[in-house]
Structure 1
Amino acid sequence: MAFDYFTVLAEMRTGSNLLESNLNAIEGIECHGELFNPGFINRAGTDSYLGVSQSERDSDPWKLMMATRAGGGRMVGFRLFHDHDPRIWQHVLNDSGCAKIILTRNPLDSYVSRKIAAATNQWRLGDVSNRRQTKVAFDAAEFETHLSRMQQVQIGIQRALQSTGQSAFYISYDDVNDLEVLNGLARWLGVPSRLTELPRALKKQNPEPLEAKLSNPEDLAPGLARIDRFDLGRTPVFEVRRGPLLAACYAGAQTPLLFLPLRGAPEASVIRWLATLDGVEETALPHDFDHGRLAKWRRGHPGFRAFTVIRHPLMRALEVYSSKVVSGEFEAVREHMARLFDTRFPEDPASMSEGDHRAAFKAFLKFCAASVSGQTGLQPWPMWASQSANLAGFAQAIQPDLILREDRLAEDLRYLAQSLGHDAPPPYQPPTKEPLSAILDAECHALAYAAYRRDYEHFGFAAPQT
């Protein structure tokens, strides 16, 4: 594939200075340093480059980008870190004409190297005789934060490449001085020149074993033991990403409130309260939004508050079961329950006993777990998708100011209305208690947790006792 330019996606103390130096030794390649570092251009202490000042770059980064790429005949690029200009970061990740060179290093080595560089104020080394040495202290909590940040950056890069159908050239710190790897990189960039020997302009700064760089090497093993290096404790997420369900949103007629409903959680009762708050019929409330109408409403209501309401996952599933599955409205769900769990509903649901409902509801919870985990051909609809996924969908368009909980909704809605000028807001009338609550047992709680563990953990619902 022919590339127009390249970027080295790296982080501090991963060897990016050394890689840049080696790349610039290859005829036809020119790497221009950290062009979009918020503190300087190209190198520390530089506030203008290629005729573009730092202030000009900050207001229009594309001016510097085009100045860098001008000249032709060379493969030009620059180094880019996750905290550099986000406009350029997003652009290069999505630009298939940009060759991505992803430089990585053992995160513990980069953490220690960064602490040494900060302590000695030596960030590059050209002459070994000028090398400054010191020992630094290992801080387990500090390293865990560093590791988490680096993992999230790499996950973001991987996601961007996958969703845009791109590939990248991965190179580790240990391979930056490998002649064959460097020539392979030149070949991948489409540059015909090759190195016959390694450049020697820069040197690796701290070649000693890790323990020799630490003032407290005895704290290393206990500190690392507390870190889940492979993220084994995470809850796997196979649920499809959702878009924002803007058409379901309702706004106040006069009060600048925007309700983002999570299907299966309190919805109709909140909409009734919203209408009563302004003394209008529900049909008078602004609703049926799309991105354009929502943007217009927000501009016209400065100081607005957006909120949503979550429900306990078990009670939410029971509500969907009783209102949508038992009624036959979700025929596709019934078909899956019959095929997967041999669960069939009578023509007259009123004939079902409490035991019948309990067995059918457990089958529905098993179906939900399978659907949310991507194990059925029926992708989760908003009604039984996790509340976490639905809320993440809304976040693509708008973030709620408040996430309210059903068990204290009356108090929270009163506070919300009073904060917007209603001294005596109408009381919230909760929906009537679900009549099938009597069918719930310990197994129902366990099945709900299995299906919606992500919601239990994200929102702090207590896990069922085993």
Structure 2
Amino acid sequence: MTQQKFKYFVIYGVMRTGSNLLEHFLNQFDAFQSYGEVFNPSFLGKPGNDTMLGIGRAEREQRPVALIERMIADAAPALPGFRLFQGHDPRILRRTLIDDSCGKVILRRNPLDSFISLKIAQQTDQWMLRNINKRRQAKVHFDLAEFLRYSEETDAYYAQINRLLQEHGQTAFTIAYDDVKDPAVLHGLARYLGTDEHLAAPKEGITRQNPGPLSEKVENYDEMIAALETQRDTTVSAEPRAAERGGLRFLTACTRAPVLFACIPAGPEERILRWMHTVDGGDPLRDDFHDALESETLFTQFGNRKALRLWLDERPERVCFAIVRHPLLRAYEVFEKRILPGGDDGFPMIREHLRTRYGMAMPDEDRCAGQDRAGLEQAGYTADKHRAAFQIFLEFIRENLSGQTSMRTDGEWAPQRAFVDGFNDLLPLDLVAKESKLLRVAAYIRNNLNLGATKNAVFKQSLEDGHIIPLSEIYTEAHESEARNAYREDYASFGFLPYPKEYS
């Protein structure tokens, strides 16, 4: 007997937490019909699908709730459901979590196990296994910094879920990866969703891809264990803001001077790090600076909160500072380096979304990668087209930050105020200043800590180095207006002037 407790259900999780198997089990109940990853930005339901139940990707973008309504109608009398992962449509994440008619299932797994499983899947390109004879095996290299970033992002996702549930008085059924195969837990989930139907023997059908201990999956296993041992005192915040914006990985300190920089993404990070290098006695203009960052210990970073507290305790006379960049210049930096084609550090999924959903004109990839402006113009991509494309990107940012798009909000265009608040949850910032005041910042730190003379030439370099077309050349008041609409709090909190006046 099925009771109409909910209209639909959602499985919330991250990749490699056992969601395929859980969905497979649920679909063996007559009472349920789960449709897969219906809000994955790249497909509908499963890879290769561009339509589902008569709804295509364009309509899903404009009317995402219509797809849920279509599933409810299609599955009747069964209860429909789908999987919603980190990085899927944030509008649907919020809507479903606060909806009384949605049955909420939260799936979790030990983050180290899911991280290693994800690394293996990425290396073997095998994401689900039905035939054990086709298993692809691989050993992966463990990188602590990469794992900490993964853990921080995953914690932020689950913290956001928990916070929304609490704020709106909602409850959820939480299930661990190791319990997905437990018939008692599976039937408990079925009762939560509204049926007393019983499966005599649930059929697995999906085989675990990476069985065995971690020592058989990680090539530097002993190094991994030693690195994780240093993280025992790490404290994870339950507050999404602190976990997602302004975490430990954004903090960098001088190795000698008591100076700590809290870095906001898409800001003047390199110029500040070069200046900090000269504070420690180095050459800020050295040609091998990027290589030295990889091969030498130029700075101090913090693997856990205990290390940060120790650094702070040992340096009562210190300066901890953050620099905020003009929102328009920051957006342009992301536009040129991440959105335009070319290079390995771009955002191809968001680029494709801008092309198909917003009609953004895209220039030639090879010429973008080679910073070949003359070639771009010969191919028809003019400064006017670049100006129009940037206007479209600003429109996307405004809609994205207000929860009107299916794309994730990346830290490189997230509001800077959120980062500053996140940093202040970790440590007291002594100074938050605008990029246009960097020379004054250098003088303040030098005088406050009695550092003596510092070389500030790196702060006198052009802000637009590395841009294919300078922002000053294509700037319009329409750009400024769109940026101000998107970043009202940043403009108000930090007192930004219009771009040309800010840096005059």
Q: Normalising by structure 2, what TM-score? A: 0.48
1:148 & 1:233 partners in 2: Cα distance? 9
Give the 3-state SS of the residue equivalent to 1:401 in structure 2: helix
- Check whether the contact 2:21–2:206 (CA below 8 A) recurs between aligned residues: yes
Cα offset for 1:225? 2.6
The one of 27, 32, 36 aligned to 2:30: 27
After the TM superposition, which residues 185-264 of structure 1 pair with which residues of structure 2 at under 5 Å, given as runs? 185-227=189-231, 230-231=234-235
User: Which amino acid in structure 2 is aligned with residue 148 of structure 1?
Assistant: E
Q: What letter matches 1:135 in structure 2?
A: K
Q: Does 1:129 align with 2:106?
A: no
Alignment of 1:138-217 (within 5 A): 138-217=142-221
Shift of 1:227: 2.9
Other-structure match for 2:276: none
- Conserved? CA contact 2:21–2:204, under 8 Å: no
Given the superposition, is the C-alpha separation of residues 82 and 229 from structure 1 closer, same or farther in structure 2, using an over 3 Å criterion?
Answer: farther
Q: Distance in 1 between matches of 2:497 and 2:55?
A: 49
| Corresponding residue number in structure 1 for 2:72 | 69
Secondary structure of 1:400's match? helix
Q: Specify the alignment match of 1:256 in structure 2.
A: none
CA separation of 1:86/1:139 partners in 2, compared to 1, >3 Å: closer, same or farther? same
Question: Is 1:91 paired with 2:95?
Answer: yes
Per-residue CA distance 1:87-137 (angstroms, 9 max, x = gap): 111110111110110000000000000011111111001111111111111
Residues of 2 paired with 1:418 and 1:120: CA distance?
A: 47
Aligned-residue offset at 1:422: 11
Structure 2 SS opposite 1:77: strand
The reply to whether residue 43 of structure 1 matches residue 16 of structure 2 is: no
**2 CA distance for matches of 1:314 and 1:125?**
49
Q: What amino acid maps onto 1:132 in structure 2?
A: R
Summarize the Cα distance change of 1:67–1:422 in structure 2 as closer, same or farther, 3 Å threshold.
Answer: closer
Q: Tell me the CA shift for residue 421 of structure 1.
A: 8.8
Q: Residue 7 of structure 1 corresponds to which residue in structure 2? A: 10
Say if 1:399 and 1:194 are closer, same or farther in 2 by CA, change over 3 A: same
CA distance in 2, matches of 1:67, 1:418: 46
The one-letter amino acid of 1:105's match is R
The separation in 1 between residues aligned to 2:499 and 2:19, in whole angstroms, is: 55
- Evaluate the alpha carbon distance shift between residue 64 and residue 422 of structure 1 in structure 2; reply closer, same or farther with a 3 A threshold: closer
Residues 22 and 198 of structure 1 are in contact (CA less than 8 Å); yes or no, is this contact kept in structure 2? yes
Q: How many residues align?
A: 266
**One-letter identity of the residue aligned with 1:6:** F
Q: CA offsets per residue over residues 293-321 of structure 1, 9 Å max, x none?
A: xxxxxxxxxxxxx99x99xx999xxxxxx
CA distance in 2 between partners of 1:65 and 1:422 (Å):
48
Listed as ranges, the matches of 1:354-365 within 5 Å are none
C-alpha spacing 1:188/1:229, structure 2 compared with 1 (3 Å): farther
SS of alignment partner, residue 44 of structure 2: coil
2:58 aligned partner = 55
CA shift, 1:219, in A, is: 1.4
Aligned partners of 1:127, 1:21: CA distance in 2, in Å? 15
Kindly tell me: are residues 401 and 229 of structure 1, through their superposed partners in 2, closer, same or farther at Cα, counting changes over 3 Å?
Answer: farther
Rg: which structure is higher?
Answer: 1
Asked if 1:401 corresponds to 2:491, the answer is yes
Q: Which amino acid aligns with 2:47?
A: A
On the 8 A contact 1:144/1:227 being kept in 2, the answer is no
Percent of matched pairs sharing the same residue:
40
- In structure 1, the partner of 2:121 is 117
Q: CA deviation at 1:222?
A: 2.3
Displacement, 1:234? 10
Match of 1:79 among 73, 78, 83: 83
Structure-2 change in CA distance of 1:83 and 1:418 (3 Å): closer
Seen in structure 2, the aligned counterparts of structure 1 residues 166 and 401 have a Cα distance that, compared at 3 Å, is: same
Structure 1: runs of 5 or more not aligned: 238-305, 316-394, 405-412, 424-466
Q: Alpha carbons of 1:190 and 1:396: their partners in 2 closer, same or farther (altered >3 Å)?
A: farther
Q: CA shift at 1:62, angstroms? A: 2.0
**Gaps (5+ residues) in structure 2?**
242-415, 422-427, 431-484
Contact 2:97 2:170 in 1 (8 A): no
2: CA distance between counterparts of 1:125 and 1:314?
49
TM-score between the two structures when normalised by the length of structure 1: 0.52
1:18 to 9, 14, 21: 21
- Distance 1:86-1:314 versus aligned 2 partners, 3 A rule: closer
